[in-house]
Amino acid sequence: GAVVSQHPSRVICKSGTSVKIECRSLDFQATTMFWYRQFPKKSLMLMATSNEGSKATYEQGVEKDKFLINHASLTLSTLTVTSAHPEDSSFYICSAREGGRTEAFFGQGTRLTVV
């Protein structure tokens, strides 16, 4: 089956620094990738959608300058949390979809803790 790998699985960073999270599709070409944020005991909140080679589309209320998304290739998308603050601490999940298909496959998630 299709595999999406997310790295790192856990990261702790100091307040004010930036953190990059990678999302890779290992055995298919991900024309579209999605970034979600999951709050404790709550659902996944879609942050943005990125199509390979174009700018990401952000959901309402998500700061695009704070959460930089790059989807430079068909197998890699990155989410950079800039100038991180403790309130950015969360579980970030990516998913990837191959062109022409509606099923999306999920990464294992990244637990970000900002101290």
Partner 1 sequence: AQRVTQPEKLLSVFKGAPVELKCNYSYSGSPELFWYVQYSRQRLQLLLRHISRESIKGFTADLNKGETSFHLKKPFAQEEDSAMYYCALPPQGGATNKLIFGTGTLLAVQP
Distance CA 36, CA 46 (A): 4
CB 14 to partner 1: min, Å: 26
Residue number with CB closer to partner 1 (84 or 90): 90
Asked if 38 and 91 count as a contact pair (C-beta separation under 8 A), the reply is: yes
Q: For binding to partner 1 (CB under 8 A), which residues are involved?
A: 4, 32, 34, 41-44, 46, 49, 51, 57, 93, 95, 97, 102-109
Distance CA 115, CA 15 (A): 6
Residue number with CB closer to partner 1 (33 or 84): 33
